[in-house]
Amino acid sequence: MTDPPSTQRTVSFFGGKGGVGKTTLAASYALLLAGRGHRTLVVSTDPAHSLGDVLAVPLGDEPAELSGGLWACEIDGESVARRRVEQVSREAQEAVPREVLPAVEQHLQRAAASPGTVESALVDRLTDLLDEVPARWDRIVVDSAPTGHMLRLLSLPTLLTPWIEGLVRQREQVRGTERMLSGLLGRADTGQDPLLQRLHGRRSRLERTRRRLLDESAVHLVLVPERLPLAETERAAQALADGGLTLGSVAVNRVAPSDATGLLADRARREAEVRATIRQRFGDHGVVEVPLLRGELTARSELAEVAEHLASAGW
């Protein structure tokens, strides 16, 4: 089956305010893609993982193959950060003078617990998975953390690239001075600089990830038809536009039926005005409405029902 043009991006992020159902929609969309014959990986970057609960399978950092062309994993950012810091610590033991090692170790331990380190580790792990497209997977669906965390994650490659470039320039200046001094002393310095090589590799990796996020990804914002989630969604959409990222179709979840009675009818009337505003604001990007459904939406059959609503809306 040919995918609709608006959903042909390789990577699809699902984000939104906590509790709006983005994990359910991400899992359902991944099932939809896998059902169309795409090798699909759905991955959670949300520290409060619930993807495994929705799919009713235990998940870890390594992608687990489910059935029907679907894989899934949950990235533990703190664990990835600890492993990366341990790697840097081992490298420092070979490159840093012994007398300053204790200070370096102390700094690395503090860095391991900082939010920036965790988010950087998440980007690194996500890059690892992106690099396996198209060899291992055709599509990746990302169940993101709540909106603010997702925006920081998506902007990190762009923010870090100039910083790495600055480190490269500083190191190149230092190496130039070292080579000049070696020449004055009659010693040839033709060896490669391991630190400079790692910095160049890091810069290339970040630039590749940045380009893929800009060129190959779309962000689907999920909300329920209420004013507070709508306000947050509008702010998120503006932040994505400011960052040059593509806003995909917006998903309005848990829409009360128009023929409801009793208390649910009152809810449907309140939602109608918000839904009209959503269509006015995001109509150019596409709006899909997913009705309020029975069940906990944690079984394949229930997720398939959500996927049918997405497909009928052109996803």
pLDDT score, position 160? 54
Residue with tokens 């990302």, as numbered in its chain: 142
pLDDT score, position 109? 63
Cα distance between residue 6 and residue 70, in whole Å: 21
Chain centroid offset of residue 279 CA: 26
Q: What average pLDDT does the segment 88-117 reach?
A: 59
Cα distance between residue 306 and residue 289, in whole Å: 10
- Domains of the chain, with CATH numbers? 8-83+111-312 (3.40.50.300)
Q: Which of 149, 145, 165 is nearest to 206 (CA)?
A: 165
Q: Which of 257, 252, 260, 254 is nearest to 276 (CA)?
A: 252
Query: Dihedral of CA 261/264/265/266: which sign?
Result: positive
Q: Is the distance from CB of 55 to CB of 72 less than 8 angstroms?
A: yes
Residue with tokens 């979840």, as numbered in its chain: 253
pLDDT digits (tens, 9 = 90+) for 292-314: 987 666 667 789 999 999 999 99
Cα distance between residue 136 and residue 117, in whole Å: 28
Q: Which of 49, 214, 78 is nearest to 142 (CA)?
A: 49
Name the strands in the sheet holding 287-291, side by side, starting at the edge strand that comes first in the sequence: 64-65, 70-74, 40-44, 139-143, 11-16, 217-223, 250-255, 287-291
Cα distance between residue 131 and residue 11, in whole Å: 12
Do the bridges between strand 11-16 and strand 139-143 make them parallel or antiparallel, or are there none, so unpaired? parallel
pLDDT digits (tens, 9 = 90+) for 166-191: 544 655 565 555 454 455 445 455 55
pLDDT digits (tens, 9 = 90+) for 128-140: 999 999 999 999 9
H or E stretch at 68:
none
Q: Which of 81, 84, 150 is nearest to 113 (CA)?
A: 81
Higher pLDDT pick, 83 / 194: 83
DSSP SS3 for 17: coil
Q: Which of 265, 311, 312 is nearest to 29 (CA)?
A: 311
Cα distance between residue 16 and residue 221, in whole Å: 5
pLDDT digits (tens, 9 = 90+) for 208-234: 888 888 899 999 999 999 999 999 999
* Secondary structure E strands in 20-96: 40-44, 64-65, 70-74
56-65, 255-264, 273-282: least confident range: 255-264
Q: Which of 92, 170, 164, 167 is nearest to 123 (CA)?
A: 164
217: β partners? 11
